[in-house]
Amino acid sequence: MKSEPDVFSIDDLERDGETHWDGVRNYQARSMMRDDMKVGDRVLFYPSNATPPGVAGVATVCKEGYPDFTAWDPEDKHFDPKTDPENPRWMMVDVAFEAKLPRFVPLEALRGNPALEGMALLRRGQRLSVQPVSREHFEEVLRMGGLA
Interacting residue ranges for DNA, rule: CB under 7 A: 2, 4, 25-28, 48-50, 52-53, 107-108, 111, 123-129
Question: Smallest gap, in angstroms, from Cβ of residue 54 to DNA?
Answer: 8
Burial tier of 40 (Cβ tally within 10 Å: 0-12, 13-18, 19+): exposed
Of 23 and 67, nearer to DNA (C-beta) is 23
Of 4 and 148, nearer to DNA (C-beta) is 4
Residue type (1 letter), 69: F
- In angstroms, rounded to a whole number, what is the distance separating the alpha carbons of residues 54 and 66? 28
Coil, helix or strand at residue 74: coil
Burial tier of 10 (Cβ tally within 10 Å: 0-12, 13-18, 19+): buried
Question: Smallest gap, in angstroms, from Cβ of residue 107 to DNA?
Answer: 5
Question: Smallest gap, in angstroms, from Cβ of residue 110 to DNA?
Answer: 10
Question: Smallest gap, in angstroms, from Cβ of residue 124 to DNA?
Answer: 5
For 24, the enclosing helix (H) or strand (E) is none
Of 5 and 67, nearer to DNA (C-beta) is 5
Of 52 and 85, nearer to DNA (C-beta) is 52
Spatial CA neighbour of 30 closest among 60, 62, 76, 71: 71
Of 17 and 74, nearer to DNA (C-beta) is 74
Question: Smallest gap, in angstroms, from Cβ of residue 118 to DNA?
Answer: 15
